Every structure is written in C-alpha cells, then in structure tokens.
Amino acid sequence: MQISFPVLKDKILGCWNGKNIGGVLGAPYECCVRGTHDVTFYNQDFEGNPPPNDDLDLQLVFLHAAEQYGARVNAHILAEYWTQFIIPNWSEYGNGKRNLRAGLLPPLSGGVENPYKDSNGAWIRTELWACLAPGNPELAVRFAYEDCIVDHAHEGVYATAFCAAIESAAFAESDLNKLIDIALSYLPADCRVRDAVRIVREAHAAGKDWKQARFELFCAHPSSFGVTFDPIEKIPDDGTPLPQPGMDAPNSVGIIVLALLYGEGDFGKSICTATNCGEDTDCTAGTVGAIYGIIYGNAALPEKWVKPIDGVINTVCIDKTGKFPIPKNIYALTERVIGCIPKMLDRRFYTVEGEGVSVECAENLACPPEYVYYKGLAGHGKSKKLPIQQLLKLAPYGVRYDFGSMGVIIDYCEDPFVAVGESKKIKLILWDAGRFSLPGQWADVHIYTDDGIALASGNYLSAPLRSNYGEKTEFEIEFVPEWITAPTVNLVFDITVRGRSTNSIVKASFYPGKHKIV
C-alpha cells in the first residue's frame, strides 16, 4: 500500500494537531485527586496562545537529532541531547539524567534506581517516530526503543512499543481493533500493558459503560498520578487499590484504548473520555488525539477544537541556548518531519513526489516472528538486526553497540553495583552484523581492568564469530574487586576480528558500595 504525499501530509498534520489539542484539553486535570471528571470542552480561553506541554516539547528536541543523524540515531545520541538541551529534572526525566551524568549508558540510565521507569514519559514521545516511519511499525518501534531506554525500562518500554506501533500502523489501517491487535503483537505475552488493554477490550465487548471499564482497569492496574499531590486522608476510597509509585504506563495505555473504543470515532468524545478518566490526562488525551488525527487526517478534526489553539506550539522544557530551530506551529513541524522522512527510511520505502514524498507501507504491519528463517542458516543477505523480541528484553541491563560489521552487547545481568571481595558476572555478546559477510571469522577480546580487579578467566578471550542467521557469540566474564580506590570500577574490552579491519572498544563501569533505599 502506498500513501500519497497529500494523504501523508494530512495525516501527519492531523497527528500533531490532535496531539496539541488533546494535551491542552487534559492539562488542567493532570494529577487531580483520583476520580472522574465531566469535561466537554476547553476550560480556558487561549486566544490562540495555548500553554506549553512536555509531551510535544521533547519531540522537538529529538526531531533535531533525527535531522542531524537520520536512521543512525540511537540511544547514545539521544542521551547527549537529554543532557544538553532538556531542562526538567522531575521523575523519570530527572532520574535518567542523573544516571547519564554518573556515566550509566542506556538502557542502564533508564532502569537503575529509577522508580519511574514504568511511567509515562516515553510513550508520550512516540508520535515523532511513527511519523518518521509511517506505515512501518517495526521501524517506528525500533526508533522509539532507542528513545525510551534513556529514561525508562520494563512497562515504560512496553507502553512505548505499543504506542509507536499503533500510531505508525494507523497510517495504513483504520480499523481500531485491527490496530490494537497490531500494537499488541509487539509486546511480551506477560506484560502489564497487554493485560490492561485486555481488561478494557473485554469490558467494552461485554457492553459495560466506560466508567465500569475504567473501574475494572483501575482495580487491576492503578496509576499513581491521582494520588501524587494529595495527603493520604484526602484520597477518596473508590474501591480501587493504591498504586505502586511510578507504575503508571499500564493504566495510561488502558485509558487510551478505553477512550478510543468508547469514543466511537468521534474526536471530541474520544479526547474528553480520556480526560474524564483522570490521572495523566494531558498525556492520554494527547495520544488519543494524535491517533485519531493519523487515522482520519487533519481535515476531519472539528473546527471548534482546532480554532482556539490555531496550531500554535509553545515550549517549556527546551534549553533554547542550544540555538537549534524550534517550530512555532504544527504546520512548520509537519514540513520538517516530512523533509526528514527520506533520512529515516530505506530507499525502497519512499518516492519523491512533487514537493514531498509518498511512502510505501510495510506488507505486514504486525511484529515479525523472532526468527523469520531457521536459526543457524547461512547468513548471506539476511537481516542481522536484533529481533524486536530480543531488543525489548535488553532493557534495562543490555547496553548495545553497532560497529557496522559487528554488533556488541554488554549484558550487566543486574544492577551495576559491586563490593570488595564479592564476585560479579557479566556477559559480552558479539555477532557478525555484516549483511554479506563470509563465515570463518575469529573474534579476540583483550580485557583491561582497573587495578585491584581479578578476572577469573584471565585478560584474553577468543572464539569464532559465525555469520549464520540468528547466531551470536557469548562470553561470560567473572571478576572480583580485591580493592577499590576510585568512584567507579571499569573493564575495557578491546575487540578485534582477525583478517578484518574491525576494531571495537567498549567499556563496562560499575559502582562500589552496597546500599538500599529506605
């Protein structure tokens, strides 16, 4: 299926307009004490100058990264943008930035000592990646994964995969239930985001009203947004349990699906239902508005919702001393996103068409199986990308590097803390990433350590690096800190492949001291 340039532009414009409208509608009700609302329209007079919203702000920063690096954009690049250009220090944003400044690379930055790793700050940023990979949800999920692991892990990652997939697929598919099924295909079978979606769909199919569906969702997956700013005694006893602090993504994705199902194809009803469910209202209503805008296009958005905001974008989270261009409205944003699409897609997926591009959608929108071919077959011409299933499992402990002809993962296996005299194990995983490589290569690893580190198997490792489909070479490395005299304990891996010019150096860093948060 091909999306012509006029249709593509209308859908991208609809995405940003819907995002902006829903975010503005829901913003005044974010973090209100747990309960439902009765919102039917904006409660403020904007006069064409809406308030800023971090859900959109952050995506403007990462658009600049995409423009600069194209399809090479990854978590390491986005981490630099976080520390240089993004102001907020609250919740997952602050914890992620704290970890980055301490030297923890993604996905460690998103998962280590971050009680908000399962919250909402990443899936709210997925519209950019969906619009840069329209009709190609697998690619959109891959880009969104690089984004989310900087400050999230676990359910925060799964919610991000769900939203990126449903938004990208919405460029090619309009049936809501099919879109939900496509998005679910990218999730692990046992995650809470999947269960939240199941609860809402079953309630809707059984003919229950939206408040009952909400109640059942909140009983299974409560959010902490509705209890954030009120003393415990003021939190109403509505029959639903108190939440695990920061465990917000499953509830919010459930609300998004609820609002889309009970909105019955009506824009205003959909974003108002999301807002009326309470909790993280600007995020849920904004994402509902974006999905609606992609499915139906900007032309379908009612004028009464569009006119008060007039497409204006105001920002609050961006350090503007960075001097990179910030679009002032959704029209300028749409033009820049369209201009960036050729940098993100394989040449076979787009065609220059007049003043823009048309896009060829993926043949199958659902997540491909982990192994398309039999594992172990000759690897010539087959994709060497990690399957989505393996990619999502890397967070929060698998730090990934791409050296062109070779892929490398340092799998910390657990939080990166060490103590004198206690053994620690990590894994070093290598695979031949060259598409047309020859078999029979050999990988050599020289390990350099800080003083006081005893390696159980010595400083040298060596093994074949096979190019067969789906196969990787895995080393298990055990070490013991005999003494520690610095703030970090470091192992440097110098990896060479015999007979090739590939030389890769990666570092694993650990932090001394046993501790607990009380």
CATH number at 442 reads 2.60.40.10
Note the pLDDT of residue 359. Answer: 96
The per-residue pLDDT for 441 is 83
The encoded tokens of residue 458 equal 């010595």
Residue 426 has pLDDT above 80, yes or no: yes
- The model's pTM: 0.96
The burial of 209, by beta-carbon neighbours within 10 Å (0-12 exposed, 13-18 middle, 19 or more buried), is given as exposed
- Residue 177 to residue 172: CA distance in whole angstroms: 14
- Spatial distance between the Cα atoms of 248 and 156, rounded to a whole number of angstroms: 8
Position 367 in a domain: no
94 residue type, one letter: G
215: nearest Cα among 190, 249, 241, 248: 241
Distant-in-sequence, close-in-space partners of 473: CB < 8 Å, separation ≥ 6: 429, 430, 431, 443, 463, 464, 465, 466
User: Looking at residue 446, what DSSP letter applies?
Assistant: E
**Tokens coding 473:** 């070479």
Distance CA 395, CA 404 (A): 22
Angle at 452 between CA 449 and CA 457, to 5 degrees: 60
Specify whether 395 is located in the same domain as 460: yes
Residue 306 half-sphere exposure toward CB, CA atoms < 13 A: 18
Position 437 scores a pLDDT of 61
35 lies in the same domain as 139: yes
**Residue 53 — very low, low, confident or very high, per pLDDT cuts 50/70/90?**
confident
- 387: how many CB neighbours lie within 10 A of its CB? 17
Q: What DSSP line would sit under 172-192, residue for residue?
A: T---HHHHHHHHHTTS-TT-H
- Considering the domain architecture, whether residues 393 and 356 belong to the same structural domain is answered as no
395 plus 495 within the same structural domain: yes
What is the spatial order of strands in the sheet that 350-353 belongs to? 2-3, 356-360, 350-353
Distance between CA 489 and CA 137 in Å, rounded?
A: 39
Region 100-128: mean pLDDT is: 97
Q: Please say if the pLDDT value at position 182 is more than 90.
A: yes
**Tell me: the pLDDT tens digits for 445-489?**
999 999 999 999 999 999 998 888 999 999 999 999 999 999 999
Separation of alpha carbons 405 and 504, rounded Å? 10
Instruction: Tell me: do 293 and 182 sit in the same domain.
Output: yes
Q: Taking residues 284-309, what's their average pLDDT? A: 97
Are both 268 and 344 inside the same structural domain? yes
Task: Give 218-263 pLDDT, tens digit per residue.
Answer: 999 999 999 988 898 888 889 999 999 999 999 999 999 999 999 9
Residue 438 has a pLDDT of: 63
Are 331 and 393 members of one domain?
no
User: How does pLDDT run across 132-142, given as a tens digit for each residue?
Assistant: 999 999 999 99
Amino acid at 149: I
Residue 190 CA to residue 127 CA, distance in Å, equals 25
How far is residue 418's CA from residue 14's CA, in Å, rounded to a whole number?
50
The one-character DSSP state at 54 is H
Q: Is residue 300 part of a domain?
A: yes
Section 94-98 average pLDDT: 96
SS3 content of the chain, % helix, strand, coil (to 5): 45, 15, 40
117, 230, 281, 355 from 68: Cα distances, Å? 28, 43, 33, 21
In a domain, 204, yes or no: yes
Domain, as residue range, for 349: 2-360
Compute the distance between CA of residue 166 and CA of residue 130 in angstroms, rounded to an integer. Answer: 8
Helix axes of 281-296 and 249-263: crossing angle, nearest 10 degrees: 50
Contact 136, 165 (CB under 8 A): no
- Position 151 scores a pLDDT of 97
Do residues 157 and 58 both lie within one domain? Answer: yes
Number of domains in the chain: 2
Instruction: Say if 342 falls within a structural domain.
Output: yes
Q: Which of 28-32, 203-207, 304-308, 485-489 has the lowest mean pLDDT?
A: 28-32
- End residue of a domain, out of 341, 360, 379: 360
Q: Are residues 223 and 270 in the same domain?
A: yes
| DSSP collapsed to 3 states, 102-162 | CCCCCCHHHHCCCCCCCCCCCHHHHHHHHHHCCCCHHHHHHHHHHHHCCCCCCHHHHHHHH
Q: What is the mean pLDDT of residues 110-124?
A: 97
Indicate whether 375 belongs to any domain: no
Are 429 and 409 spatial neighbours (Cβ–Cβ below 8 Å)?
Answer: yes
Q: Are residues 323 and 445 in the same domain?
A: no
pLDDT digits (tens, 9 = 90+) for 33-48: 899 999 999 998 887 8
Asked whether the predicted pLDDT for residue 170 surpasses 70, the reply is yes
Whether residue 311 is found in the same domain as residue 410: no
Reported as a pLDDT band with limits 50, 70 and 90, residue 17 is: very high
Return the minimum-mean-pLDDT range out of 112-126, 308-322, 357-371.
Answer: 308-322
Residue 83 belongs to some domain of the structure: yes
Task: Indicate if the pLDDT at residue 31 is higher than 90.
Answer: no
Could you tell me if 118 and 243 lie in one domain? yes
**Would you say 315 and 52 are in contact if contact means Cβ atoms under 8 Å apart?**
yes
pLDDT at 97: 96
pLDDT grade, residue 265 (50/70/90)?
very high
Would residue 92 count as lying in a domain? yes
C-alpha dihedral (465, 474, 397, 480), degrees to nearest 10:
-130
Q: For all residues of the chain together, what is the average pLDDT?
A: 94
pLDDT at 434 over 90: no
Q: Tell me whether residue 102 is in a domain.
A: yes
Looking at residue 440, its pLDDT comes to: 67
CATH of the domain at 34: 1.10.4080.10
